Structure 1
Amino acid sequence: MQRYYNLLFLIVVITSSCGDRFLDVTPTDRFTTDTYWKTREHAEAALNATYAALLQTGLYGGNTPVMLETITPNAYSYSSDYNKIAEGIHDAANASIVNTTWKSAYTGIGRANNLLAHIDAISMDSTLKQQYKAEAKFLRAVFYFPLWNLFGGAPLILDPPDFATQSTLPRNDTTALLTQILKDLDESLAALPAAPSGNDKGHATKGAALAFKAKVLLYAGRYQEAADAARTVINSKVFSLYPDYRALFYLENEGNTEVIFDAQFKSPEFTHGMDIALDEYNSVAPLPDVINDYYAIDGKPISMSAKYDAAHPYENRDPRLQQTYTVIGSQYKGAIVKEGQYPRTGYGQKKYTVYKDNVKPPATIADGQSELNYIILRYADVLLMYAEAQNEATGPDASIYSALHEIRFRAGMPDISTGLSKELLRTEIRHERRIELAGEGLYYFDIRRWKTAAALMTTDIYNYKGERLDTRTFNPLRDYLWPVPSIAIQENPQLTQNNNYGK
């Protein structure tokens, strides 16, 4: 981790001063392109700055990952840009998260391109140079992912930032971006290490590149290729499920055996606000829809289980329910959760806070001062990606049940019944993804790629008492993509807008 946070003054030197421009990342400190790229330390600082771009709001910084839950049936945000998206009233100008995501992606892309364009001029160890280039290509793929996945296309830029020439580029389509993302990931594999070591903690590895490739291919509907990539990660035996689901997300267990790649935070230099957003502000308020989707302890839906007691609805349930969320009468932060403690919906989220169930914290984490890493890729997700991709590619087989067994066994839940049809197994896999990854911001991407968002997000939502909170709408002709930010189109009139968003 030390290498990630050192040389801060050099990071400042090569970090952009963007202002309102998405592509304006010209150095403004004492160094210039002509004077900067001289030593290994310069290349290292440039790489660190590229990793630091992951921590921006709109990517994996701020509260972005957990706030994505609030534009799904998993959670509700009473007042935010995310709620505009959930209500279907967002446009190209009124939801700042749309603008921020686009801008943050290009900031990271610009830093990766800068390193790749200049590192060959530096005299340094050739093996290390190739590793730095591989890490930059991996990161560039990560930064292009939201432009491909959320916006459906954007200008494909592989050169160092140059606002004068790049501000008139048209959008490339999804195929072009997908091709480049996969190319970068494939090329990175040759020089990335098998596992992080020493000061490289938090840096990309072969497992990270393969896991991210599996994710991209799954989202693209290229199921056999996705299954093959995920299987390679599984067969490598580098990663394994951490035995304690709740403790997987504890601060002291960062970088455990399940973590494949994460966004590295460190107080006071690099922090976020997830603790206070989830706990004190209750800004990500879990909805009864997800609470009720947790099976009973016998592995059956609560509507079909003799173990479920409506008078005691949170007993005899999948243990992950109370390991992820607070419910009235449960223990959290060394006390019993009381009615009204989480006022939005009656529930709160534990995952991605530093608080524990049986320990009273000395004080509330201040807003913007949390340092818990956000896990971008973890092994359980790879197992679930494999299960889904393999089922879609070939139908049920023993390897799918084996992958699901690992996750369910860790959770303390019985196995899924064998002998299911492809369609029934698909339903169980999708349920398992929702439950295992609840609170992590991935369900929004899932319901979009499954094309279920229109049905799930066109509805009224309610709190635990059955009181209506809001009305959500989802236009399937528009809302499967985000609008291109209006400020980006103002700066570059060559950019076309996505369908039904106007200008």
Structure 2
Amino acid sequence: MKKYIAILVVLLQSCSQSILDVNPTDRFTDQTFWKTEEHAQAGLNAIYNSLYGNALHGGNMMAELDGATSNIYTYNGPGGNIARGIHDASNTGIINNRWDQAYGGIGRANTLLARIGDIKMPDANKKRYIAEAKFLRGLFYFDLWIAYGGVPVILDAPTVEQGALPRNTSDETLAQIVKDLTEAAADLPKSYTGGNKGRATAGAANALKSRTLLFAGKWIEAAAAAKTLMDAKTYSLFPDYRGLFLQENEGNSEVILDVQYKNPEYTHSNDINYDQFNTYAPLQGLVSDYYLTDGKTAAESPLYDPKFPYKNRDPRLAATIMTIGSSFKGKPVVAATYPRTGYGLKKGTTYKDNEAPPAGKADNISDLNNIILRYGEVLLNYAEAQNEAVGPDASVYDALNLLRKRAGVAPFPAGLSKDQMRQEIRHERRIELAGEGQYYWDLRRWRTAEKEMNGDVFDYLGKRVETRAFDPKRDYLWPIPSVALQQNPSLTQNPGYNK
């Protein structure tokens, strides 16, 4: 996959005469493209290229979304605008860019689906390419649906007339996402090898389907989608939580889908943003929420020592966050290392705790893959959906305790009620997925954002960093971008926002 991504820019801009006999030779035209399997492959790679969007799944988007929650403080990013409740239809980049970038990917997917039928190529490959395009279209519509609600559902190749379409309902958008993912899962392979690594699999379709149905509150269906993936045994938890996110373990047994980066063609700046710039600074509320290794809170556990507050904590804390007194990049972490809150975000960087960066490494260049879907989340999806559907049965405990065992934390206590288990699952999602951009969407779908995202947030000394604001009458949806509204008068704005 990285090989294909590396040549994508060349394929999109020009081709040698050995591949295309065109005039002019510096660009594709409707008359000369969509003729061969190589063209179909280039078109499919172009859909994957949309994943790199900085408002979708590229760069620092995961940390940016956590910065909109009580997990992380970001002092100058769009996540901070959302956290402070000062975002609107025109002033927050990711709100505007997500719309454009997702529809760009959808347009590419629709074009491939419309044109690939006329291309002579092996039926098995054509079937797979169609399934990959449907998966990616479903993913981009999911990205829109969770942010804006119902959006125009477009299934044909781009035309001028589509710019005047009204919004479909949220339920109609959801139905199309589930349809695309169901059809994709039936025709995608279980895995790839070699240069195709990084492409969508049947597991990716079922994992995203479980996430989608969970977000829709369709508990039985969400549990079933997750269980399909669990029963297939294609994926498993990587034994080392910190190692799961390190570059040498990319594409490990837990990774279902990730954005493929490759230096120098495709890189990001997460190393320098997370570390030296401290752009995304974990907050005390998140750090305090990590249990002790006995599975109890700091207030409950005899293992907690206020003089050494990070000792005996859930090991996922040290794997995710740099704390004062720890070591990172072969140096001790002190209060001045991460001055914004006293903490730094480790997950998403290529650095090690006790090793200095290799000589000559450019701190502003990283090609660590961004994980979109992983098996740990599937287990959480299953546990939450199954608990809501039937209560905390043995299968719920089994799924959750796999995560606890991997982390090195005591298993969940027996005899929890459904409500108690719900709270434990929500806590487990926050800890397991910290820094991965899921907590923001979780708070919105749980309808707890007005509680979690209002009020003051604090640094390691208990000093107020800033005050957060969340308006429940408005902020459970993003505004439709003002530019989109100006270009398409048929679109309606979400409640509480001005055009």
Normalised to the residue count of structure 2, the TM-score between the two structures is 0.96
1:261 counterpart SS class: strand
Looking at structure 2, the residues matched to 484 and 324 of structure 1 have their Cα atoms a distance apart, in angstroms, of: 33
Q: Check 1:110–1:12 CA distance in 2 against 1; reply closer, same or farther (3 A cut).
A: farther
The 5-angstrom pairing of residues 1-80 of structure 1 reads 1=1, 2-12=3-13, 30-80=27-77
In the alignment, what sits opposite 1:389? 385
SS at match of 1:154: coil
Identity of aligned residues (%): 55
| 1:502 Cα deviation from its structure 2 partner | 1.5
Q: Which residue of structure 2 lines up, in the alignment, with residue 209 of structure 1?
A: 205
* Superposed CA offset, 1:397-418 (max 9, x none): 0011111111100000110001
Which residue is equivalent to 2:80? 83
SS in 2 for 1:208: helix
Number of aligned residues: 490
Question: Offset at 1:319?
Answer: 0.7
Matched residue, 1:151: 148
Q: Which of residues 377, 385, 390 in structure 1 aligns to 2:373?
A: 377
Q: Give the equivalent residue in structure 2 for 1:265.
A: 261
Establish whether residue 454 from structure 1 lines up as the match of residue 450 from structure 2. Answer: yes
- Quote the Cα distance in structure 2 between the aligned partners of 1:481 and 1:6: 38
Q: List gaps (5 residues or longer) in structure 2.
A: 16-23
Is the 1:4–1:200 Cα contact (8 Å) retained in structure 2? no
Q: Does structure 1 retain, via aligned residues, the 8 Å contact 2:55–2:98?
A: yes
Cα pair 1:318 1:413 within 8 Å, conserved: yes
Alignment correspondent of 2:19: none
DSSP 3-state at the match of 1:262: strand
Q: How big is the shift at 1:13? A: 6.0
Aligned residue runs from structure 1 range 196-345, under 5 A: 196-345=192-341
Query: Match of 1:488?
Result: 484
1:333·1:360 contact (CA, 8 Å) conserved in 2?
yes
Q: Report if aligned partners of 1:242, 1:248 keep a CA contact under 8 Å in 2.
A: yes
Match of 2:465 in 1: 469
Deviations 1:170-229 (Å, cap 9, x if unpaired)? Answer: 111111111111111111122100112222100011101001000000000000100001
Give the secondary structure class of the aligned counterpart of 2:187: coil
Map 1:429-440; keep pairs closer than 5 Å.
429-440=425-436
Contact (CA 8 Å) 1:459, 1:471: kept in 2 or not? yes
- In structure 2, relative to structure 1, the CA distance for the partners of 1:109 and 1:13 (3 Å cut) is farther
* Conservation of the 8 A alpha-carbon contact between 1:102 and 1:485: yes
- 1:96 corresponds in structure 2 to 93
Counterpart of 1:173 in structure 2: which amino acid?
A: T
CA distance in 2, matches of 1:452, 1:118: 45
User: Does structure 1 residue 416 correspond to structure 2 residue 417?
Assistant: no
CA distance in 1, matches of 2:76, 2:181: 38
Contact 2:8 2:46 in 1 (8 A): no
Structure 1 stretch displaced more, 28-37 or 45-54: 28-37
| Preserved contact between residue 47 and residue 112 of structure 1 (Cα < 8 Å) | yes
Classify the secondary structure of the residue corresponding to 1:355.
coil
For the residues of structure 2 that align with 1:261 and 1:114, how far apart are their CA atoms?
23
Q: 1:305 to 1:185 in 2, by over 3 A?
A: same
CA RMSD of aligned residues (A): 1.5
User: Aligned to 2:346, which of 331, 344, 350?
Assistant: 350
- Counterpart amino acid of residue 277 in structure 1: N
1:18 corresponding residue in structure 2: none
Could you tell me which runs of 5 or more consecutive residues in structure 1 were left unpaired when the two chains were aligned. 15-26
